[in-house]
Structure 1
């Protein structure tokens, strides 16, 4: 059982933000204009202070603490939604009730309690997702500006999410194929190890934006020499440079994980396998790969989370995905549109990390 005192800090931050903060919500004339900040103590309904006992349970030294924190987060969201609906009563149709810095600090601190390492964390996350769905379906959050922006762009957000997932999986698969070939080549010839590390390590120090920028003219020149590639679906902008650039970034952690897993087998085990008449292929499939699985999954976990984040930058080269919403929001100075692209990226990264973390621990 983990001690309770470290969890007191995020709970204290959440309460301090709600009690002393001055901008839990802001009422703006439209989606682009700044609003009038309003403190939580003035706009939240009285039942919102159910947070106090729930946060206390969320910091208690028991295994259900993350579930109590999840309930506290849902109560806080429902209270903010009710407050936003109250502010919009009698306001102009274009008026927006936007979450302020105080609300985001309180929500983030409470979410930290939900995802705090320990027991019942995944169950708490699942209950939180169900609760969010119930609040959205019941219209509790409809008054919040972020929900209004989502309703206006529901189809675009859904398409961007699917594109983001596809790009992440495709880049990860491409990087895994490249890393597997390089790992096997390094296993056959140790001289290649240093060269491959230096080559892929050099890619890591290049900023992603610069790498994408370099790939665009290089691919344009390549397509000029081989126009048939364009007919096959390749392009100088769009998914092609994004996938190549992201795969290059992901290859190094995958290569190191594969190499560590392939070389981690006890020499005595390899000698026994050789004595049984196993060749290199059977030894790789039946001995090295199964014994190196924990290392493989560790590298895959890191690379998968990186893929979800790096695909966001693919919006800069026309690859689409949630990054396109983020950059569109930046161009319009629309905070809600930025969050509409950024928040799903954070949720995807957390979900991927948690899911692969479970597989890694079991392996």
Structure 2
């Protein structure tokens, strides 16, 4: 435990725990962990040390690391309120590098020793926010000021990701079946879908704008359906293009993974190809397909962020607005929900995949 405490102190103490600035645009002055927390610094450091102590049971280590994360969050909020008490209303206090290093260490210990404790950490953070301990932190100030826009951005982000995933499935399913029935077609489709992955995502998003503009000029009636060269359409099309490959590969692999003996038995029973597909191949392919679907879901949530560059809205719009203003907390306001959504989607998809792989 002593080496773990020494390593944590060496990482935490030299770095600024919070930063205090006259407003959200100007660089702030770093406040060290010792200056920000004083004697209370012992609490999160000791808890992190307990979390890293191998002799402690896994659940206890995860609980200690989770409490350390919540404690650091609460102490950061208290330090921010104290530092801003005598400053102008425009002054901001944001998380410093030391805070992020310590929180990353705590969350890594939680993930290693008991990932379920992550829910307790999230509940603790919500409780601190509800009690008002975090109100003076710049990230919370941004979230409060933009609460309606943030909620709308989250729903837009999920809608764009869902639309892209649905479109990718509509493309990948028939292509996978055609490639399974005719391997030569499958080889061509695989090469074409793999070629899309080579194109940088930003370049593909940008390339679709003039292509869609040309299409809309040639067929003006499409504009009456709400289609445009900028907005949700290029974001959905570009994201779906990237999602098609993992979905196609998992479907193709799943269809090919069916036990030949089971297929022959079904043929001997007089089943048609359609019945064999529905009753034999697809049930056996579901565990393999679930893995590809998990990758595609997480990829969709991440890639749709670039839709903010083409006017699609969503959380990407907040991220790029923060980048344009050099406002770190505004960037985090968009980036952190993306991270949470991706982790939640991955957790749910992983649970479904595990259940499908489990023998009946």
TM-score scaled by length of structure 2 = 0.93
How far is the alpha carbon of 1:12 from its aligned partner?
Answer: 6.7
Helix, strand or coil at the partner of 1:26: strand
Q: Equivalences for 1:180-195 in 2 at 5 Å?
A: 180-195=173-188
Q: Is the 8 A contact 1:14 1:107 kept in 2?
A: no
The Cα shift of 1:13 comes to: 5.8
Deviates more, 1:61-70 or 1:127-136: 61-70
1:78 aligns with 2:71: no
SS at match of 2:13: helix
The reply to whether residue 17 of structure 1 matches residue 11 of structure 2 is yes
Match of residue 335 from structure 2: 342
The superposition leaves residues 17-45 of structure 1 with CA deviations (integer Å, 9 ceiling, x where unpaired) of 32232x11121111111111111011115
Structure 2 unmatched ranges of 5 or more: none
Once residues 279 and 128 of structure 2 are traced to their aligned partners in structure 1, the CA distance between those partners, rounded to angstroms, is 50
CA RMSD in angstroms comes to 1.7
Task: Show the 5 A alignment for 1:106-121.
Answer: 106-116=102-112, 120-121=114-115
**SS of the residue aligned with 1:24?**
strand
Q: Does 1:62 align with 2:57?
A: yes
**Shift of residue 14 of structure 1?**
4.6
CA distance in 2, matches of 1:130, 1:152: 22
Q: Is the 8 A contact 1:261 1:291 kept in 2?
A: yes
State the Cα deviation string for residues 174-203 of structure 1 (Å, max 9, x = none): 111211111011122111011001111111
- Residue-by-residue CA offset, 1:205-236 (whole Å, 9 max, x unaligned): 00111111111111111111212211112111
Q: Distance in 1 between matches of 2:335 and 2:167?
A: 25
Q: Which moved more, 1:39-48 or 1:293-302?
A: 39-48
Q: How many residues align?
A: 352
User: What SS does the corresponding residue of 1:320 show, helix, strand or coil?
Assistant: coil
Deviation digits for residues 290-342 of structure 1, max 9, x if unmatched?
11111111001111111111010011100101110011111111111111111
Q: How far 1:344 sits from its partner (Å)?
A: 1.0
Deviation at 1:260, TM superposition (A): 0.5
Q: Is the 2:197–2:242 contact (alpha carbons within 8 Å) kept by the matching residues of 1?
A: yes
Secondary structure of 2:323's counterpart equals helix
Q: What SS does structure 2 have at the residue aligned with 1:358? A: helix
- Work out the CA distance in 1 between the residues paired with 2:182 and 2:247: 18
Please give the alpha-carbon distance, in whole angstroms, between the structure 1 residues aligned to 2:296 and 2:230. Answer: 23
Alignment of 1:106-145 (within 5 A): 106-116=102-112, 120-121=114-115, 123-145=116-138
CA shift in 2, pair 1:160/1:202, >3 Å: same
Runs ≥4 residues deviating over 6 A: none
SS at match of 1:94: coil
Of 185, 188, 208, the residue aligned with 2:201 is 208
Which residue of 2 is the match for residue 255 of structure 1?
A: 248
Matches within 5 A, 1:158-169: 158-169=151-162
